[in-house]
Amino acid sequence: MDPEQLAAAQLTLNQASSMPAGFYTDPAVFVAEREYVLLANWIFLARTDQVAHAGDHRTFETVGGPVFLVRGDDGELRCFANFCRHRGSLLVLEDGNSKQFVCLYHAWSYRTDGSLLACPGMTAAENFDRADNGLAPVRMQVWAGFVFVTFNDDAPPLTAALGDLPDRLASHRPQDMVCTWTVTLDVRCNWKLILENAMETYHTGTLHRTSVGAQQSRTLDTVGDWKCIQVTSGRSIATLPGTTPPFPVIEGLDEDARQGTYFTVLHPACQFAVAQDCLWWLNVTPVAHDHSVLEIGGCFPKAVTETASFATDAAPYYERWELVGREDVGILEHQQRALGSAVYRPGRLSWRDDMVQSLGWWVIDRLPASIVPRA
């Protein structure tokens, strides 16, 4: 990345340009981000209610490789690296419910608590102790039903990263929500473009003119590794304009939260959008400098999901989330292609791009000098 272009991106917003193209297109930047940003911090995986019963398990491809969540027979939720301790084959291939996991390669098997159950043909192995050959745990912490993992044993606790986010969202009572829907999109763009997009309403009046339409937002102060804007609207924007959101405002929602929808980034790569009646996430899994996987997940208060008409009432939310998500993904893939131009030069930012600028600098601040030359 060009030092002068980096310096121009660091000027005060009304003088600043966007990031050099290499921030989004250079494989070496991505390698450094993986080590210093993505593996170093907490990564959102799923809701605890998605693995509610003993034996329930879900698999994930993460920046740290394949992992799976499993609810043990003892009721405990655990996360393991998804490889067999014999010679490393992928162990769990599908989401589902199992009493044990049997490797398809040589039939080593494991209990739901990760311990080794059986290992045929290992009687002659010397100094081999089954107790040392259980599945490799991945560090996991849960906040309000949201499951996070990290590949960094030295990462401060999740609560430090979340800062005052739990306070901001307390009156939404996220711990009482359940996930009822997800969709996964394969996106040919850099992971940071997806985050930047959801943190500015500059584009909504044009890109989303036939769906959600123009929006206004204000930037809120945060403490911790997260950022927040509030898209102001007296009604939930989780269904399209012209519709009436069928679900009530969450009981006890505080005055501030009633003013609109919080759009957040939980660094490094997760976003929660929190409206007056529901919550949806945009969880980005970076795959390569120009390839990401975006999962959108929708959550509602548990009591709402138990009403007789829930499936019908929730359908417009799912349609809106996927429609707008696909509109964004389309433009982001165009942006990625154009950023590869041999004559690309960073363009000037709008006052409405404040979060775009600060998201970029959160990442830049964590990269080594070999990747981020100082002017």
| List of residues contacting ligand FES (CB under 6 A) | 84, 86-89, 103, 105-108
Q: What DSSP element (H or E) covers 7?
A: helix 3-9
Residue 45 CB, shortest distance to ligand FES, in Å, is 24
Between residue 38 and residue 67, which ones bind Fe ion under the rule CB under 5 A?
Answer: none
Residue 325 CB, shortest distance to Fe ion, in Å, is 8
| CA neighbor of 18 nearest in space, from 262, 187, 202 | 202
| Residue recorded with tokens 């999740």 | 158
Residue 87 interacts with, from Fe ion, ligand FES, none (CB under 5-8 Å by kind): ligand FES
Residue 103 interacts with, from ligand FES, Fe ion, none (CB under 5-8 Å by kind): ligand FES
Q: Does 353 bind Fe ion (CB under 5 A)?
A: no
Residue 37 interacts with, from Fe ion, ligand FES, none (CB under 5-8 Å by kind): none
Pair 356, 19: CB distance under 8 Å: no
Structure tokens at 373: 């030359």
Between 121 and 137, CB nearer to ligand FES: 121
End-to-end Cα separation, the chain, in angstroms: 11
Residue 125 interacts with, from Fe ion, ligand FES, none (CB under 5-8 Å by kind): none
Residue 135 CB, shortest distance to ligand FES, in Å, is 11
Q: Which residue in the shown chain puts its C-beta closest to Fe ion?
A: 328
Torsion angle of C-alpha atoms 7, 9, 12, 13, degrees rounded to 10: 170
Between 81 and 84, CB nearer to ligand FES: 84
Residue 45, helix vs strand vs coil: strand
Q: What DSSP element (H or E) covers 167?
A: helix 165-168
Residue 16 interacts with, from Fe ion, ligand FES, none (CB under 5-8 Å by kind): none
Residues 260, 236: Cα–Cα separation, whole Å: 7
Residue 89 interacts with, from ligand FES, Fe ion, none (CB under 5-8 Å by kind): ligand FES
| Residue recorded with tokens 């906040």 | 143
Residue 324 CB, shortest distance to Fe ion, in Å, is 6
Between 44 and 83, CB nearer to ligand FES: 83
Residue 328 interacts with, from Fe ion, ligand FES, none (CB under 5-8 Å by kind): Fe ion
Between 48 and 59, CB nearer to ligand FES: 59
Between 34 and 86, CB nearer to ligand FES: 86
Pairing mode, if any, of strands 139-143 and 100-102?
Answer: unpaired
Residue 14 CB, shortest distance to ligand FES, in Å, is 58
Characterise 31 by phi-psi region: left (phi > 0), alpha (psi -120 to 50), beta (else).
Answer: alpha
Q: Does 328 bind Fe ion (CB under 5 A)?
A: yes
CB atoms inside a 10 Å sphere around CB 297: 21
Angle formed by the axes of helices 310-339 and 191-198, to 10°? 120
Residue 106 interacts with, from ligand FES, Fe ion, none (CB under 5-8 Å by kind): ligand FES
Residue 82 CB, shortest distance to ligand FES, in Å, is 12
Q: Does 290 bind Fe ion (CB under 5 A)?
A: no
Between 102 and 287, CB nearer to ligand FES: 102
Peptide bond into 268 cis (omega under 30): yes
Q: Select the span of 31-39, 296-304, 321-329, 332-340 touching Fe ion (CB under 5 A).
A: 321-329
Amino acid at 169: L
Pair 332, 189: CB distance under 8 Å: yes
Residue 204 CB, shortest distance to Fe ion, in Å, is 6
| CA neighbor of 231 nearest in space, from 180, 275, 281 | 275
**C-alpha 114 chain-centroid distance:** 26
> Given the rule CB under 5 A, which residues bind Fe ion?
328
